[in-house]
Amino acid sequence: MVLLNSPICDKEKVMPSFELMNIDGTVLKSRELVGKSGTLIMFICNHCPYVKAIIDKIVETTNELEKFNIKSIAIMPNDAEKYPEDSFENMNLFSKKHQFKFPYLIDKTQEVSKNFGAVCTPDFFGFNSDNKLNYRGRLGLMNNLQFIGKTNDLLDAMIQISKTGEGPNEQSSSAGCSIKFTCMFVMR
């Protein structure tokens, strides 16, 4: 397990478009998933202890964001062959266990994850109604894999985005396991 922090928010970066398979077998397009007041894209996986520690808080947060016309989408970026706990079948089980109401998409080629610049799980990207990035940060304060914050940074930031179109000026990066990218070596 390698702990990484997400980079600082590149405000105004436009959300990359994508087409990925959902756990129900349907292929979903990014343009079909955007929310009226904003869109939250989360890079998560099934095996990461950082995701496991806050998954119930993530689900609670996304349920609350629906009230503000913010859509939430989770993308599983890891190489599932090397990390079988992140397999498509296990994504289904994980989603059911935690009662996801949002799509849980698999990025088999990992191109979407790279296009977003995702580096860890969890990694949160909050876009405004114009699909411009305005939040890239943590869910909240954690210590020893426990959510200890009294405030939910992600929820507060996304509500602010829904009301003003802009995220907070101060943002704290998310931290989690490195994304398990497929290594490709070119022999010359």
Are the CB atoms for 57 and 139 separated by under 8 Å?
Answer: yes
* Residue 105: other Cβ atoms inside 10 A: 25
- Which residues, other chains included, contact 158 with Cβ-Cβ below 8 Å and sequence gap of 6+? 38, 40, 65, 68, 70, 126, 135
Phi and psi for 14 in degrees, rounded to 5? -80, 140
Phi and psi for 74 in degrees, rounded to 5? -110, 140
Distance in angstroms (rounded) separating the CA atoms of residues 124 and 138: 7
* Residue 51: other Cβ atoms inside 10 A: 22
Q: Supply the pLDDT for residue 188.
A: 42
Q: Supply the pLDDT for residue 57.
A: 94
Positions in the chain short of pLDDT 70? 1-7, 9, 142-149, 183-188
Distance in angstroms (rounded) separating the CA atoms of residues 176 and 48: 8
